[in-house]
Amino acid sequence: MICMYDTRDNLVDQLSQLVNVKVSTVPSGGNPSALAVGKYTIELTDENGNSLGTLVDGTNLSANHLSTTIDNTTDPDSPSVKIDLADGDGNSITTLTDTTDTSSSATSLYGKLQGLVDTYTNDFPSVLKSLDNLANTLTTNFNAAYAGSAGSQSSGDNRILYQCFI
């Protein structure tokens, strides 16, 4: 029995590393052992501890899940991520994060998961744009230097000039 509680507590600890959670115990009922903690109700919370929705309902013995939609086809320079708390049938209960919506209520998910979303939607595109600019500058300068030296020497009617394409 204790091992089950240890496993459950370990899983809750892992979850709390990804998102803010509030855990409440629900008595098991009957005549449980004094060691029996009961069932858990796990709510996702914002940075102030306000409930965003219930992930696990210990009273009704039901669970919801996180549903993620990623779109990097509309604008590859600005990918969007939407995370919903959804019921067992996949119906959205509430939107936790939506990078296409700039209202504060749509970005209320905190923790490592929100950090990963922010990195994917904000940091990676700007780093990739900087790398593209670096590669373009390097290619332009390389081709200019080469054209001004050995690459500009002609051999009959055929000019030898190497181009780098990225």
List, for residues 79-110, the tens digit of each pLDDT value: 888 888 888 888 888 888 777 665 545 556 77
Q: Among residues 46, 47, 48, 57, which one has the least CA distance to residue 23?
A: 57
**Integer Cα distance of 109 and 97 in angstroms:** 6
Distance (Å, rounded) from C-alpha 98 to C-alpha 80? 7
Distance in angstroms (rounded) separating the CA atoms of residues 99 and 107:
7
State the DSSP H helix or E strand holding residue 146, giving kind and residue range, or none if neither: helix 124-147
Q: Flag whether the pTM goes above 0.95.
A: no
The first and second tokens of residue 74, run together, are: 């509309």
User: Using one digit for the tens of pLDDT, what is the confidence trace for 133-143?
Assistant: 998 899 888 88
Do 36 and 28 form a contact (C-beta atoms < 8 A)? yes
Look at 59 and 5; give whichever has higher pLDDT: 59
Give the span between the Cα atoms of 83 and 137, in whole angstroms.
Answer: 38
